[in-house]
Structure 1
Amino acid sequence: MRLRHIEIFHAIYTTGSITNAAELLRVSQPSVSKVLSHAEMQLGFQLFDRVKGRLIPTSEAEMLFDEVDKIYQQIRSINNTARNIKRSSKGTIRMGVTPALGFEAVPEAIADFHRDYPNVSFEVKTMHNDEVMQSLIEHKCDFAMLYSPKEMPGVESSKCADSELVFMYNKHWFDEARTSLQMSDLEDKEFIDIADSGPLADMLWTRMMKEGVRFSSEVKVQTYFIAARMVAKGIGFCVVDRHTAESNLCGDVAIASFEPKLTFDVCLLHLANKGIPKVAEAFIPYLKDTIASDF
């Protein structure tokens, strides 16, 4: 089967008639009928039975459809990628960022950039490390900005800034607010655990093992933002990145660095064999400056 045969077969199979298939594909009914007949002739068997004005898939068509559908979905993915590439060249920046950078850094960078380039549009997708590769391959984003990413084949990574993990805690727990704490200072306090938080969780776990500290946790959450809000409600303390902490500071909540500091890299990622669109290249310095100034 040729690609045109696959497209016509899939359209008829899913819509149930030549008329509907023609409307879906925005072509004439005679052209759909002609391609269908040609496909059946090349295959050597009939794909549809004509029953009361409808086309009913034959048993051969039923066996064929699963494989055809896989190819059709791949074609759709190619078309989506092509559209994204075309739109990028017209001044659209697609970026993937770790959710923490979406509180302040990314909005501030976009606001600064818009003052200089008011006609550029943005699509911002928050993502975790395991989502990055597919988004880059399908051109859903031109680049990604993540915390301490692992090496990924085909993806180029470069350091943009430093950041650190910090404690968010109740400032009244100590006689005076502390700007740095040892892990043992909080060992008797309730720990709000952020489950499955990737490389940063691994960093925290490694430090805990090194210092022989165990935190007691009755509350587990999925995101840094929720953990920060739990601290604001007086439930306990949490460990988050500094961007999240600074963006959610309020009331009786204080922020303290680890003693010694627990730092990590903020990295820019893009496909190694693909260039970053020029309009995105123009924006990246704004984002780097904002992230660096926030730390």
Structure 2
Amino acid sequence: MPEPISHRLIEIFRTVMSTGNVTEAARLMHSSQPTLSRELARLEDILGYALFSRSKGRLQATAQALALYAEIQRSYQGLDQVISTARQLGRGEQGHLSILSLPALTHALLPAACARFLASHPGVQLSITPQESPLLEAWLSGQRFDLGLTEHHDTPPGTHAQPLLQADEVCVLPAGHPLLHKPVLTPADFAGQAYISLSAQDPYRILLDQVFADQGIARQQRVETHSAVAICAMVSEGIGLSIINPLTALAFASERLQLRRFSISIPYRLGLVLPEHRPATPLLPRFVAALAHSADDIQARLAQAVCPP
């Protein structure tokens, strides 16, 4: 069997090629010129062809040597990229985060948090998957994502939760509506009003229906939909008014859709759900910090939106 080509022989060849002479290569490798000359001769013997022609004490690389050196350089550049990536991963400059979220949060909370996070982590890739319950909880239990964003109710098995944001449900009204002169709306203000509801199974719809039923107040149920985004679009068209989660309301607030407080507190809670059996990435705490900053910003903007000057 032919003698194997060692990494040391390749490194000697590479150093000689990059410096142009054996003496300088020996100095860089803390060796001697005779030792490196013998090793180069051994490499040529193993390969079965000359790497250098020797003329007046100078080395002249052969065509095979030039081709071999080019291939070695490509390999070293690939290794350099591997080393660079490894260091960037350690510093949190590269990597991937997978996030599972309620659909409403993909337009009302995540965009600002993603922008803030990516501004300081441009090499990181984010994957955001919107999903409704109960699949959302099942996927979180399955450890399929680095982070979940959901309404803060029961914690799925195999995960732990921490609160992120709490704010009350808010009233949304179209531009020019007579009730806009009031800073706070009571259930009585909705009597006989055209109203757009969430679907009958929605837990917030159930709570609101009970509030109005307890006070004996009838609304004109104009439209029913499962989507708070659709409600905002319909309110903007003047179809009716509604009471929805504060994040979606704030995301769509405009001259055509305005917000007011509701006199009865119906808390809307958001939480972070973290898998207990999925390897943690050092990027996660930094993204959670960006989410917390966005949540604080939403609280401040919401306070202004429901109490316009």
- Band the TM-score falls in, shorter-chain normalisation: 0.5 to 0.7
Q: Which residue of 2 aligns with 1:248?
A: 252
1:195 to 188, 192, 199: 199
Which residue does 2:127 correspond to in 1? Answer: 123
| Residue 143 in structure 1 maps to residue 147 in structure 2 | yes
Asked if 1:156 is matched to 2:153, the reply is: no
Residue 273 (structure 1) shift: 4.2
Aligned partners of 1:149 and 1:223: how far apart in 2? 19
Per-residue CA deviation, residues 29-86 of structure 1 (Å, 9 max, x unaligned), is xxxxxxxxxxxxxxxxxxxxxxxxxxxxxxxxxxxxxxxxxxxxxxxxxxxxxxxxxx
Superposition deviation, residue 281 in structure 1: 2.2
1:276 CA displacement: 4.1
Shift of 1:229: 0.3
**CA radius of gyration, larger in:** 2
Equivalent residue, structure 2, for 1:36:
none
Matches within 5 A, 1:273-284: 273-274=277-278, 276-284=280-288
Between 122-131 and 214-223, report the one with greater CA deviation: 214-223
1:221-243 CA distances to partner (integer Å, 9 max, x unpaired)?
Answer: 22111110000111001221111
SS state of the match for residue 123, structure 1?
strand
Q: CA deviation at 1:147?
A: 2.0
TM-score by length of 1: 0.63
Paired letter, 1:266: L
Counterpart secondary structure, 1:99: coil
Judged with a 3 Å threshold, the aligned counterparts in structure 2 of structure 1 residues 208 and 292 are, in CA distance, closer, same or farther, namely farther
Helix, strand or coil: the match of 1:149?
Answer: coil
- Equivalent residue runs for 1:160-175 within 5 Å: 160-174=164-178
Residue 104 of structure 2 is aligned to residue 100 of structure 1: yes
Q: Deviations over 1:111-166 (max 9, x none)?
A: 11111111110111112231223322444321211123334333322211112211
Structure 2, unpaired ranges of 5+: 1-93, 300-309
- Scaled by the length of structure 2, the TM-score of the pair is 0.61
Map 1:65-104; keep pairs closer than 5 Å.
91-104=95-108
Contact 2:100 2:149 in 1 (8 A): yes
Q: Which residue of 2 aligns with 1:43?
A: none
- Aligned-residue offset at 1:175: 6.5
Question: What number of residue pairs does the alignment pair up?
Answer: 208
Q: Structure 1 177/98 Cα, relative in aligned 2: closer, same or farther at 3 Å?
A: farther
Distance 1:266 1:276, change over 3 A: farther
State the secondary structure of the residue aligned to 1:235.
coil
Selected match of 2:289 from 281, 285, 288: 285
DSSP 3-state at the match of 1:103: helix
Unaligned runs of 5+ in 1: 1-89
Distance 2:259 2:245 in 1: 10
> Can you list the C-alpha shifts for 1:231-260, whole angstroms capped at 9, x where unaligned?
011100122111111111233322111103
| Offset, 1:171 | 4.2
Identity %: 16
Secondary structure of the structure 1 residue equivalent to 2:205: helix
What is the identity, as a one-letter code, of the residue corresponding to 1:235?
I
Q: Distance in 2 between matches of 1:197 and 1:114?
A: 37
SS at 2:171's partner residue? strand
Matched with 1:213 is: 217
Equivalent residue letter for 1:125: T
Alpha-carbon distance in structure 1 between the residues aligned to 2:204 and 2:219: 16
What code does the residue aligned with 2:176 have?
H
Aligned counterparts of 2:209 and 2:152: Cα–Cα separation in 1 = 15
